[in-house]
Copies of this chain bind each other. A is one copy, B any other.
């Protein structure tokens, strides 16, 4: 099709609105319809969307706004109350899926040791975005389970970065330099802790930091600036950009009038967040799945991916009670755009072929689509319905 960036944006946004609407009419969360709409528009079916840099950026900014919103509804106190639970859930949630993915690739696909380790890393990914959007939509974002899921997703990303660093180095047969890896780990942990505490402390001491500019919309613009700035910084220390956006949200949550900012960012997000889900769907390329053996391998991969994350979340969060532990377990399952990204890196670097790539992509998609419909029933009647306010 003709290259017209505005038309492309219109198509993606239209797909987001229609997909979201249809899935809500089917009593499914919006994200399901948006991701599916993206898959349909993407290379597998209609081929209407080719994900270029502009769409990638809009998608990433959408994800940032989403996690910024989630952060805005998360107080530091509520995170502190959970203690080490997110750390435990996140750590087990890296270890078990890694072993499961490695076993799948090593014993079922008979891949080489380095390639199998790389596949393990693809199983580790957690997409905070998918779960976070559903938790917001059903009004459950301030529940303890939600905080554990989000905190664990951050731990997951930090450790996942380390795992990916190690397995990527193994591919070229190069030595693993422990120094830089541990340095990167220390830097990222330091970044999270320092930016969070310094930012929250500064804003608590002087809330005028957000509204000193003359522009009447300034608390919003300065907040968005902080969100963009910490996202960029987060990406530069090797973490996902959305972690910086989440931290920015937690900081701005200390601002007395942060409720106004929430509703303003919701408006910005109403425009940009759908790009994240539709583009995530459009990154999926399912061309190579179809045969019986591949279908079998895919089913096993999905089962392993689901069970390994579920078990980690469940046992890590047992202290919250059985039902809550189930919610945490389920909420950790989606691999989303992170799984797609790691699979794409592996394919690009020829770690594995089209077959494994297609299965990993499909696994990321399946895990992302099965979770959203489960969350509302799991929370039961304790959550708010989405309402016009």
Residue in contact with A389 in the complex, picked from B56, B216, B268, CB distance below 8 Å: B216
Q: Please determine whether A271 and B224 come into contact, CB atoms closer than 8 angstroms.
A: yes
Chain B residue contacts of A56, Cβ below 8 A: 5
Give the distance in Å from the alpha carbon of A271 to the alpha carbon of B65 in the complex.
Answer: 11
Residues of B within 8 A of A61 (CB): 6, 9
Q: Which residues of B contact A53 (CB under 8 A)?
A: 5, 52-54
Select one of B5, B52, B213, B264 contacting A21, CB under 8 A. Answer: B213
**Can you list 11 A-B pairs with a CB-CB distance of less than 8 A?**
A5-B56, A6-B61, A13-B225, A17-B215, A20-B215, A21-B213, A24-B214, A53-B54, A214-B386, A264-B270, A265-B267
Q: Which 3 A-B pairs have the closest CB atoms?
A: A264-B267, A267-B267, A217-B270
Number of copies of this chain that the complex holds = 2
CA A232 – CA B274 in complex, angstroms?
Answer: 19
Q: Are B270 and A17 in contact (CB under 8 A)?
A: no
- CB contacts (< 8 Å) of A6 on chain B: these are 57, 60-61, 228, 231-232, 235, 241
- Mark A residues whose CB is within 8 Å of B: 4-7, 9-10, 13-14, 17, 20-21, 24-25, 30, 52-54, 56-57, 60-61, 213-217, 220-222, 224-225, 228-229, 231-232, 235, 241, 264-268, 270-271, 274, 386-389
In angstroms, Cα B265 to Cα A10, docked, is 17
Cross-interface CB contact of A17 among B60, B225, B387, cutoff 8 Å = B225
Q: By DSSP majority rule, is chain A's interface helix, strand, loop, or mixed?
A: helix
Residue of B with least CB distance to A388: B216
Q: Which residues of B contact A30 (CB under 8 A)?
A: 215
Among candidates B7, B214, B217, B228, residue contacting A267 with C-beta atoms closer than 8 Å: B217
Q: Which residue of chain B lies nearest to A14 when distances are taken between CB atoms in the complex? A: B225
**B17 lies within 8 A of A221 (CB):** yes
Q: Which residues of B contact A232 (CB under 8 A)?
A: 4, 6-7, 10
Q: Judging by beta carbons under 8 Å apart, are A387 and B21 in contact?
A: no
Inter-chain contacts of A265 with B (CB < 8 A): 267
**Structural contact, B57 and A5, CB atoms closer than 8 A:** yes
The docked-state distance in angstroms from the alpha carbon of A188 to that of B215 is 37
Q: In the complex, how many angstroms separate the beta carbon of A141 from the nearest chain B beta carbon?
A: 15
* Complex contact B235–A13 (CB within 8 A): no
